[in-house]
Structure formats: C-alpha cells, structure tokens
Amino acid sequence: TKKKKKKDLSEQIKEVTKESHVRAENTELMLSFQRGQVTLPQYKLLLCSLYEIYQALEEELDRNSNHPAVAPIYFPAELARLKSIETDLEYFYGPAWREKIVVPAATQRYCHRLRQIGKENPEYLVAHAYTRYLGDLSGGQVLGRIAQKSMGLKSSEGLSFFAFPGVSSPNLFKQLYRGRMNSVELTAEERSGVLEEAVRAFELNIQVFDGLQKMLSVAGNLQQESSTNSNAVYRKTLQFPGSLSPMVRMALGLFVALAAVMGLYAL
C-alpha cells in the first residue's frame, strides 16, 4: 500500500513534544536570549551543567553503542560534545577546572535519568540524543556568534561547544540522522516509551533552567548582603553576577537543547 503503516519516529517526537516546545520558546529564558545578552560568568556556569549532562549522555551512548536501537544513531566522531566542553572549561577556569564545577540539583537529576535508562532502557537514549544533538547542530553556528559578540570575546576560543568540525553540512547530516533514527526497529511498547522519554527530555531541560535561576537568585541575595558584611565566600565560589536578569539571558544562550530546538521543527 502507498500509505505508511505508522508515522516516522522523528515526526512522532515532534508531535508529542509540541506543547513542551512552545512552553520552552515562551519562557523568559528563550525570549531574553533573543536579545543577544550573554555574560561570561553565566556562560561559565552553564558550561558546568553541559559538562555533567554530556558526560552522562555520551558515556551511556558509548556503553550501549552496539545496542540495536543505539547503533544506527551513534556518531561520536561527528557529534560528541564532551571534549569540546572540557576544552572550553579549561580555557575559562584553567587546569583545575574540574574542582570548580557547580551545578543545580536539576542537572544531577538529568544525569541520573540518563544513567538509569542507559542501564535499564537503552532505546530511550535515542530520544535524548535526538533532542540534544540535533538542537545543538541546528543552532550551534548562530548561537556561537551571538555568544562571542555578547561576551566580547575576540576569538572563538572558549566556544568549542558550538563548533562541529566533523559535520560539513548540518542540514544533510540532520537528514541522515533522522533517517537512521526512523529505521530503528521498536516494539509498540518501546516506541511509546521513547516518545514519553522525549517529553521528559524537554522537561528535564526546563527544570535545569529553573534550577540555575534559583542558584543565581540566591547568589544575588548573598552579593547584596555582602555590601554590608563580609559574607562573600559563597558568591566567590559560585562566581556569579549579582543580577538575576543577566543569568536568565545566559541560561538560554547556553542550554542549546532548548535554545536551538526550533531547528528541529523548521526542517
């Protein structure tokens, strides 16, 4: 028959995450990113969360690279972000950058979920890899330029996260990736699970935004208090600016999963 028995997995993910996508687009984070205002302290803070998330995601993809659902969408040479993030963190924090990693509880929950499904339901990794990598690939070049301009960086050093040297044509690669993903054979139960996990991926990212916002709010209050007393230790440790508003702008800039996720829907 000419009719397809069922929709492609990529199309189904697009449909089930539509509400979350709209909600993410209309957050203050997304709207303020569009103003192109990203501060260096915020960027550094977001890199910390990106490091933890990609470490978990890529370790689980590596561990499950021969799994029938993961193998078709396993492209470490083209897509892996962890080494790039490490390079950026070392550029900003120096050789001892690992000691300066600070993340909200939401980031830890995100990582825990990735490790849990890596052990129990590796096919669910497809949802997270698709949401993150194709979002990164869609928005990487544009976001990299915005971040560089906003922070006044004279070169692309510190912005390796946004670059995909192994991908010559992002649009062609995304077509290849979606084709590979749609070829994955899943039972009805597994497919349903992957779709639910795609929604969860969006929710986890939104929770990370909220967690970062709260961290900045606390740090801002501490900075205000330190103007009348010497309680500046916590502020120094977190290395934040005192204002919540700039952080909100930054969170968008860095968490490309949501910032660039529009690319998933424009193609």
Mean pLDDT value across residues 246-263: 43
Mean pLDDT value across residues 2-31: 77
- The answer to whether residue 1 scores a pLDDT higher than 90 is no
Averaged confidence pLDDT in the chain: 82
83 is in an annotated binding site: no
- Phi/psi of residue 251, nearest 5 degrees: -55, -40
Instruction: Kindly report, residue by residue over 62-97, the tens digit of the pLDDT.
Output: 999 999 999 999 999 999 999 999 999 999 999 999
Instruction: Kindly report, residue by residue over 235-244, the tens digit of the pLDDT.
Output: 444 444 444 3
21 is in an annotated binding site: yes
14 is in an annotated binding site: yes
44 is in an annotated binding site: no
Instruction: Map the chain to HEC letters.
Output: CCCCCCCCHHHHHHHHCHHHHHHHHCCHHHHHHCCCCCCHHHHHHHHHHHHHHHHHHHHHHHHCCCCCCCHHHCCHHHHCCHHHHHHHHHHHHCCCHHHHCCCCHHHHHHHHHHHHHHHHCHHHHHHHHHHHHHHHHHHHHHHHHHHHHHHCCCCCCCCHHHCCCCCCCHHHHHHHHHHHHHCCCCCHHHHHHHHHHHHHHHHHHHHHHHHHHHHHHHHHHHHHHCCCCCCCHHHHHHCCCCCHHHHHHHHHHHCHHHHCCHHHHHC
Domains and CATH numbers, the chain: 9-222 (1.20.910.10)
